Structure formats: C-alpha cells, structure tokens
Amino acid sequence: MTTYYHVDGDLVPRAEATVSVDDRGFRYGDGAFETLRAYGGDLFEWAAHAERLERTCDALSLEHGLSREALRDRIDETLVANDFADAYVRLSITRGVQPGTLTPRPAVEPTVVVYVKPLPRGGLEGEPVYDGPATLQTVKARRVPDASLPAAAKTHNYLPGILARTELYDADEALVRDLEGYVAEGTTSNVFFVTESGLHTPTTAGPVLPGITRAVVLELAEEAGIPVSEGFYEPTAVREADEVFLTNTTWEVRPVTSVDGLAVDAGPVTALLSRLFDKRVERTCYGGT
C-alpha cells in the first residue's frame, strides 16, 4: 500500500514526495517541526503541539502564514487519505526556497510537509511502540545553550543530538547535560526519576525542550498526589534513583533499566504513570471513560 504524504498543499505518494535542494530546511536546517500521535483518528494534545509550533516559529521569526486550523486540516486529510487511525505524524515547516543568502527574507513561501506512519493502538488496550525498556548513558556532548538556540524551539537542527547518539556504546538513549553539568534531557526525550521524596525532572529553566508528554505526566503525577519537583540535578541523582523513565510523544512513558551501566529497577511509580497516561489517551481519543 502506498503511503501518502502532504507536501505544500497536495497529497502525494511517498515515493514522489520531494522538496527542493534549494530549500532552507535542507541547506541550513531552517525549519520548525512537531511530532504528534494520532490515536483512533484523533490527534493527542493538538493544542499544545500547535502552541509549541507557534513558539518555535516565533523564535525563528518564521511567518508561514498558515492558521492552526489549516495545519490541522492537512494532518487530518493525510490520515484519512492513508486510512490511518493510529499513527505517528510529523509536521514540518521550513522557510522554503530562498536561494543565495543566509539572511532570511521576510517574505516566506514555506515548505509544509506532513509525514505519517502507522503505529499500534495506544490507550489501555495498546502496546508500546518501543522494543523494550531504555538504557541510558551520560555523554560528553552538551545541550546547546539557550543563548545559542532557544531550547523551547523544536527546530530541524538535530546535530547535537545526533553527535550525542554516536557516543553511545551500550545504551540506546543519551543523558545529555547542559554546559554547567546538570542533566538536561535525552536526545529525543525528557528524563524523569523517582526517589524517596517523589518524582523529579530537570526544570525548563535550563536548556530543556518543554515536552508535551512531560507536561501531561507532570499533571498526572500531581493529580495522583505524587510529590513533584523540577530542578537542576547532577547525573549521579539519576544514577542513584529508585526509578528512571523517559517521555516523548512516540514512546509515551518508557522505563529505563540502566544508567551508565548501573541497573535500575522497574518500579511502581513508572508503572502507575504509564497506566494513567494510557487512561488519558483512552478517555480523550478513544471515547473511554
């Protein structure tokens, strides 16, 4: 079955979905994107993703001229065209073709692409999309400081994360620190850990992408009466924690079983939050109670 992508307003078969070699997204990584999940045909946390995309575009001074509704329509059309109810969705907006100069021109004809890929069902009857729990390794590569690239912006520039991943030898996600040495996040995920005093996660006052899944998990933890703190933590705090897990849109809540080679037990707080997350998906997207 051919998958259809949405490119600049048209649905096109994946094999024919192309953008120009002069596109600034290709030349410079000059673009914004969001990764979303559709559950039962419904986009989970669409408003939060749309807001973050707007913030990213503001940070890049990228005025693409498309409304939130127009973007959503393109995603919905792509899901319908492929008959995908449960899917990975990526929406990318680049500054388009502007040959010859690094300086962005204010008049933008953006390149807008929607990519989709089928995923298993989520929610209470769902199955995880990852093969198993994650293993974490502290890497040398540091998070780009906010003063160079605002951490809250989700841009096409993933080289720091790619370099961090190339350092991994016996782990599948990197524990990335900021320039001061505090834990920031993974390369495509936010980091949480559990101690006697409750649930902890690096604060977005540091160079941390404000993950949409992170925000949902924080809300669920508070509702469940789990004490939550956001702060600046050394990697040893993660290594010595009772439980560690990662969050992102695709993985949802993914347990971690080792940090820098030290085993971490799968634990009850991670299991509870994972179940509460599934319940939230079931209720908001599959019409559950």
Restricting to residues 33-72, name those near ligand PMP by CB under 6 A. 35
Query: Which one of 190, 201, 204, 270 is in contact with ligand PMP (CB under 6 A)?
Result: 190
Strand ranges in the chain using DSSP code E only, listed in sequence order: 4-7, 10-13, 31-39, 42-43, 87-94, 111-118, 134-142, 173-177, 183-185, 190-195, 198-202, 228-231, 243-248, 252-259, 262-263
Residue closer to ligand PMP, measured from CB, 78 or 247 = 247
Query: Which one of 78, 82, 138, 189 is in contact with ligand PMP (CB under 6 A)?
Result: 189
Instruction: Fill in the amino acid letter for 262.
Output: L
Restricting to residues 202-261, name those near ligand PMP by CB under 6 A. 209, 211-214, 247-249
Is residue 185 a contact residue for ligand PMP (CB under 6 A)? yes
DSSP 86: S
Residue closer to ligand PMP, measured from CB, 94 or 190 = 190
Among the residue ranges 77-85, 103-111, 188-196, 256-264, the one whose residues contact ligand PMP (CB under 6 A): 188-196
Closest to 277 measured CA to CA, from 112, 44, 78, 46? 44
Terminal C-alpha separation, the chain? 34
Residue closer to ligand PMP, measured from CB, 4 or 233 = 233
Nearest-10 crossing angle of helices 46-59, 68-82: 120
Shortest separation between residue 209's beta carbon and ligand PMP, angstroms: 4
Q: Which two tokens stand for residue 154?
A: 């989700």
Task: Name the residue whose CB lies closest to ligand PMP.
Answer: 211
Residue closer to ligand PMP, measured from CB, 81 or 215 = 215
- Residues binding ligand PMP (CB under 6 A): 35, 185, 188-190, 209, 211-214, 247-249
